[in-house]
Structure 1
Amino acid sequence: MSEIRMETVSGRWILLATVLGSGIAGIDATVVNVALPTIGADLGTDFAALQWMVTGYTLTLASFILLGGSLGDRFGRRRIFIVGVIWFAVASLLCGLAPNAGLLIAARALQGIGGALLTPGSLAIIQASFAGEDRARAIGAWSGLGGVATAIGPFLGGWLVESVSWRWIFLINVPIAAAVVRIASRHVPETRDTDATGRLDVAGAILGALALAGMTYALIEAPTQGIGSPTVLASGVLGLAAAVTFLVVEWRSEHPMLPLRIFANRQFSAANAVTFLIYAVFGGIFFLLVVHLQVVAGFSPVASGTAMLPITALMLVLSPRAGALSSRIGPRIPMAVGPLLCAVALVLMLRIGPEASYLLDVLPPVIVLGLSLLVAPLTSTALSSVPEHQAGLASGVNNAVARAAGLIAIAVLPAAAGLTGDAYGNPLQFEAGFGTACVIGAVALVFGGLLAAITIRNPAVADSGHPAHCAVDGPPAAPGAIQQAHRQAGGR
């Protein structure tokens, strides 16, 4: 294992490669939302196709991210990271050149596979390359700079949509990826887990992908094709059958991608149940809000993208403090109160209508969301509730749960709110549907707060002083939480 210091030239090159690599994946996860109305109008698609442009990416990312971490451990983290970056770049090129919605959705799914390969590797490279005393600092810099990149994404995407073309939100990834590959090839040392044994759980990864794909297709297409449609029924049955088979395979496998026994830990299971509810609401509402600002409130793509900047800024500033507060008083109160604050924010969003004022109608709920107390405690509780040697697995599972929650929410919430067909072109219909979605989200957040109050306990966390190996990153909306999580897992 390398012992590189942060202050060295080598350390800076490693940090630059990992931040840029994970940054293009993080930016692409958010920037597409800003362009959805423009893409829909240009390609002549319905709302279900717009949903697939987001869920196609999240589906493959959530399905293969644990496998991506395992591949890096086995075959070399730098190697799999570079493969992921190249894969992501080629898929981005296909997205930018896609002549219709179907090919764009397929290319987005390919992007997700690339993201699943490069995202775990970026953090694992830092964990394995830097000297022990510098790892927490490197992870903090990685998470902070990654958060800045994610914050810039919607603004950059809005500017590209308005000034050039929506296609450039994908094409711009290609030169960035080329720079990452060159830097990583020359300056990032190769590392791998010499203790990794047994076969890769490819069957588990494929079954997990089939389960998510089948159920997602059924949920998205049921409102337009009808719940009795043979295609919808077949995909739903396939998804459920794959999910059951996945659980059986994971239970019986000697080297499962998802060891189900980890859920015997009640604190870990409770933290992930709350994570699922919280990130489901965040994923669904953020997907709809950026479209709502353009379709109903009349915001430009740039204005709708930058409207979310205060959330990222406040998360970056306050997540470490929320983590410190959770360390002092325990995670139970922050995780119970945080969802209630977010529920208040969704109620405030009901005021966002035609010709809404950003300062009076949009900024207040955005600030309340940004002041959330729950993101850092969610991640740190998941990691600190398991033994140190399972911290990497715990982080990967928590990350996959968060992404799967967003995937399912984007499939379910619009239909539950009546947003189907050409709703994104009808301001009155979209306004009514968005209001219904906010109410549903607020109720789910209240339930999440109650669940946390009932199930989360305040254990005494002992700091072992040894860094935890973490093959994958934390939940996507937790830039500041990763540093705190690793500190609580022993990564000082």
Structure 2
Amino acid sequence: MEEKQTYRSGNLIILGIVLSIITYWLFAQAFLNIGPQVQETYAGASAGVINLSISLTSLITGIFMVAAGSFSDKLGKVKITYIGIILSIIGSLLIIITSMPSLLIIGRIVQGFSAAMLMPATISIINTLFTGDKRRSALSYWSIGAFGGTGFASLFAGTVATFINWQWIFIISIILSVIALYLLKDLKEVRTSVKDTSRFDYVGLLIFIIVMSALSIFITQGEELGWTSGISITLVLVTIIGSITFYLVERRINQPFIDFSIFSNKAYIGTVTANFLMNTTVGSIALFNIYTQQELGLTPFMSGLMTLPYVVLILFTIRVGEKSIKKYGAKRAIVVSPLILGVGVLLLALTFLGDTAYLISALAGFALFGIGIGFFATPALDTAVSTTPPEKVGVASAIFKMASTLGAAFGLAIIISLYTALGSVMAMSTAALLAFGLNVLAIVVAFLCAKFVIPDRAVE
């Protein structure tokens, strides 16, 4: 990969990267909204199989993302990107070519591996290929592909499934994946100045996968299994004991799977922690949909429309956040974002208002959601990758994105479980207010991390 790219070739590379990552954020995530239509196609599949297929891709992505980031550092970022795109095509084909439930599950697993490879590898390519303002611009488009894709996934999936059929979601994904491969076909491999001749830490990888599998299953399936059931307690013990074992083993290895020196970087650890806590607000979005449909009588379509200000404003403010880095520095946007987002959640928490007044408050809240996340996205990602040594960017960016995934999963599990539990002993409006309030506390902690952990000049 040449150090300098022409304006046109650089933009085509960015377009190829964005097309590659929306295969997950827009297309694979569309499965969240088409479960009933999929079950009609897979007539022999039980509801349990369909529910498993919906959550499986995110689960696999979260478990293997750091491993894929480490592989991209050692084997090559471009190579891993190509493999990720090809796996996305294979996964989509497996889902649509037959009505066999087994291939549906395999296809969703393949899509999970694809996403795990693409996210850290493409961020690493951007960080290596571009510098300064161009890097921040490229990361903004990456964020637009990720956050924008997620925001439009529901509307896109519903439209295609309603007016054509759901398989076309993945046919379009395959077409865009092929275009992405074409746009990235001349991209040469990046080699950092630090040559890595060490043997890969397979022991560390195995322990890490076991820990992340136990944690992810507990988070995503804990409510169904029972939070205090024997299986859940076992998963927690495996997570705790495995984490301690992983730390002790990795400290004794010269070239560990995860270099803990990454976490000595205050800018990085502060940003990752804030990112984790900011993403717990996914739970508030889910709670709003549940509450308004159950208690206010909104249809799924109507409650989905209420989130439209979030989608529109996040796409606009991502670029504003990027521009603010040069003028004010990255830290200011990272610190201000939780304050804006916190006010947005507070507006969602005003469930004691009348129905009309509450919905107006929620619209304003979702507008602040979009502004808060949009301001945060590029400065946070830029800080995470630009303050990390080049040879560690793959695993560092993977940990950053894994924090997003786990934050969202924790937010969903804790906030919805709290709402359900409180709803059995008090009015549902009060239960929702308290559950939203818990999320506000998490955002306050995100603000404190951004304010006091990240150095004042984290990114030049």
Name the CA distance, whole Å, in 1 between partners of 2:355 and 2:39.
22
Aligned to 1:349: 348
For the 8 Å contact 1:278–1:448, the answer to whether it is kept is yes
Q: Which runs of 5+ in 1 are unaligned?
A: 462-487
Name the CA distance, whole Å, in 1 between partners of 2:206 and 2:230.
23
Name the CA distance, whole Å, in 2 between partners of 1:452 and 1:308.
26
Aligned to 2:453: 455
Report matched runs for 1:260-409 at 5 Å.
260-279=260-279, 281-290=280-289, 304-305=303-304, 307-322=306-321, 325=324, 334-350=333-349, 360-372=360-372, 373-383=375-385, 394-409=396-411
For the 8 Å contact 2:306–2:363, the answer to whether it is kept is yes
Distance 1:259 1:342, change over 3 A: same
TM-score (norm 1): 0.74
Distance 1:350 1:141, change over 3 A: closer
For the 8 Å contact 2:69–2:121, the answer to whether it is kept is yes
Name the CA distance, whole Å, in 2 between partners of 1:146 and 1:92.
19
Report matched runs for 1:117-266 at 5 Å.
117-126=117-126, 138-144=138-144, 148-166=148-166, 168-170=168-170, 172-184=172-184, 187-193=185-191, 195-227=195-227, 229-266=229-266
For the 8 Å contact 2:148–2:314, the answer to whether it is kept is no
- What is the CA deviation profile of residues 216-267 of structure 1, one whole-angstrom value per residue up to 9, with x for unaligned ones? 3334544444455333333333333332222223322322232112222334
Distance 1:345 1:36, change over 3 A: farther
Compute the RMSD of aligned alpha carbons.
4.3
Aligned to 1:468: none
Name the CA distance, whole Å, in 2 between partners of 1:100 and 1:304.
33
Distance 1:361 1:297, change over 3 A: farther
State the secondary structure of the residue aligned to 1:5.
coil
Aligned to 2:67: 67
For the 8 Å contact 2:266–2:455, the answer to whether it is kept is no
Aligned to 2:79: 79
For the 8 Å contact 2:77–2:124, the answer to whether it is kept is yes
Distance 1:4 1:386, change over 3 A: closer
State the secondary structure of the residue aligned to 1:191.
coil
- What is the CA deviation profile of residues 441-475 of structure 1, one whole-angstrom value per residue up to 9, with x for unaligned ones? 1222223334444434413x5xxxxxxxxxxxxxx
Name the CA distance, whole Å, in 2 between partners of 1:304 and 1:39.
22
CA shift for structure 1 position 205: 3.5
Amino acid aligned to 2:405: R
CA shift for structure 1 position 107: 4.5
For the 8 Å contact 1:62–1:404, the answer to whether it is kept is yes
Distance 1:429 1:358, change over 3 A: closer
Bigger drift between 387-396 and 55-64 goes to 387-396
CA shift for structure 1 position 334: 4.7
For the 8 Å contact 2:340–2:368, the answer to whether it is kept is yes
Name the CA distance, whole Å, in 1 between partners of 2:108 and 2:354.
32
For the 8 Å contact 1:414–1:433, the answer to whether it is kept is no
Specify which of 437, 443, 457 is matched with residue 445 of structure 1: 443
CA shift for structure 1 position 190: 3.3
Report matched runs for 1:39-118 at 5 Å.
45=47, 50=51, 55-95=55-95, 107-118=107-118
- What is the CA deviation profile of residues 63-103 of structure 1, one whole-angstrom value per residue up to 9, with x for unaligned ones? 32233234344444443222212222333344457979998
Amino acid aligned to 1:89: I
TM-score (norm 2): 0.78
CA shift for structure 1 position 141: 4.7
Aligned to 2:416: 414
Aligned to 1:482: none
Name the CA distance, whole Å, in 2 between partners of 1:429 and 1:158.
32
Distance 1:188 1:434, change over 3 A: farther
CA shift for structure 1 position 406: 2.0
For the 8 Å contact 2:140–2:319, the answer to whether it is kept is no
Name the CA distance, whole Å, in 1 between partners of 2:97 and 2:350.
38
Amino acid aligned to 2:114: G
Amino acid aligned to 2:453: T
State the secondary structure of the residue aligned to 2:316.
helix
Distance 1:192 1:106, change over 3 A: same
CA shift for structure 1 position 199: 2.5
Amino acid aligned to 2:312: A
Name the CA distance, whole Å, in 1 between partners of 2:133 and 2:441.
44
Distance 1:109 1:415, change over 3 A: farther
For the 8 Å contact 2:143–2:318, the answer to whether it is kept is no
| Number of matched pairs | 451
Name the CA distance, whole Å, in 1 between partners of 2:356 and 2:32.
20
Amino acid aligned to 1:15: I
For the 8 Å contact 1:315–1:371, the answer to whether it is kept is yes
CA shift for structure 1 position 435: 4.5
